[in-house]
Structure 1
């Protein structure tokens, strides 16, 4: 009796095994085909997208943004590109030509009014020339920072944190742009901006940058 039941079970289960394996293989083949089609669609979609352009590299310590100001420059700024005046040219010539600097150079009127330097002072003799050179080199220390800074790289006042720099002599230099676009440095407004001399960017200022000690010495002389 038990032998007949075992034989019946064998006859029932043996035919089902090949059918189950066949269904499983069909299912796996279908999943693989669906995955292959999906992957092909993704690759075709990615290949049709435009390639993203990489941002241009920026040079260290070199700011190349083109400056734009709300006001138009004064008429004499065109002549300033050729000559900063006798003392302005002397001041810029003291800087290395192959290193990046920004110089806030006093205007010719500021050299005369604030520093009491006149054209004849540089030709009046050795002593006058030495004094003139000493004054200009001292002012250069207050007015030069070791990087290239165009006016358009300075934020409008009230829209961002003020730009804080150190001059080559250690004077703290604070720069911003006024609502009319004029560059202002330590409270001194610019007259002409973004004049390029070799690796130096020159901004002509309607005044002189100086520390308190140098300002006191000038007041004693006057």
Structure 2
């Protein structure tokens, strides 16, 4: 009887020691785990990093920043922003004249119209555009954008080629274009009158 008692006690003792060791390992491992932030904090941190990269590495210009700021930062959009040179060449907008008191309303009207033609309510990176194939999306104004990718990797939207691709600000994907995307009526209304200079 004494011997059976010892065997029973030793099995119980071993089970207790193994259980305590497992509990101790589990307890110590939870103490050493790094603190995990909530998913909202991680997304916010990721967005802050993207926003910093957006503003430090490239320059949109005054009108490009206006376009991007008109969109909500927390929704997925793609915007094909004209370069500063394109704003001047195609629309004759420059910062000094456009923000004069007498021109400010006209400037905002033109820029908001450009936004309607050049923004798509979805995130569209250059990787999503196949080389040699054309895809189409409706812009915010309902204007159809025909998007393709050239062999050199540049995106072409309605025959306007990109200068810089896949920049982000919040959830917005920004492509800088070497031209202004617009319909024929708007183009005719903003085209400079070349006869004035003669």
Asked whether the two chains share a fold, i.e. TM above 0.5, the reply is yes
Residue 38 of structure 2 corresponds to none
After superposition, the Cα gap between the structure-2 partners of 1:173 and 1:80, relative to the gap in structure 1 and judged at 3 Å, is farther
After superposition, the Cα gap between the structure-2 partners of 1:103 and 1:81, relative to the gap in structure 1 and judged at 3 Å, is farther
Q: What is the correspondence of 1:178-189 to structure 2 with a 5 Å cutoff?
A: 178-189=150-161
Larger mean CA deviation between 80-89 and 210-219 belongs to 80-89
**How big is each residue's C-alpha offset from its partner over 1:45-71, in whole Å with a ceiling of 9 and x where there is no partner?**
xxxxxxxxxxxxxxxxxxxxxxxxxxx
**How big is each residue's C-alpha offset from its partner over 1:176-218, in whole Å with a ceiling of 9 and x where there is no partner?**
1111111111110000010101110000000010011101112
**How big is each residue's C-alpha offset from its partner over 1:109-139, in whole Å with a ceiling of 9 and x where there is no partner?**
00011010001124311x3111111000000
Instruction: Report the aligned-residue RMSD.
Output: 2.0
Q: Which has the larger radius of gyration?
A: 1
Q: Could you list the runs of 5+ residues in structure 2 that have no partner in the other structure?
A: 1-53
Residue 137 of structure 1 corresponds to 112
Larger fraction in helix: 2
> What TM-score do you get using the length of structure 1 for normalisation?
0.60
1:163 matched to 2:139: no
1:120 matched to 2:96: yes
Q: Residues of 2 paired with 1:185 and 1:107: CA distance?
A: 14
Q: What is the correspondence of 1:58-69 to structure 2 with a 5 Å cutoff?
A: none
Structure 1 segments, 4+ long, off by >3 Å, are: 78-83
Q: Could you list the runs of 5+ residues in structure 1 that have no partner in the other structure?
A: 1-77
Say whether the 8 Å CA contact 1:102–1:146 is kept in structure 2. yes
SS at match of 2:191: helix
After superposition, the Cα gap between the structure-2 partners of 1:167 and 1:80, relative to the gap in structure 1 and judged at 3 Å, is farther
Aligned length: 142
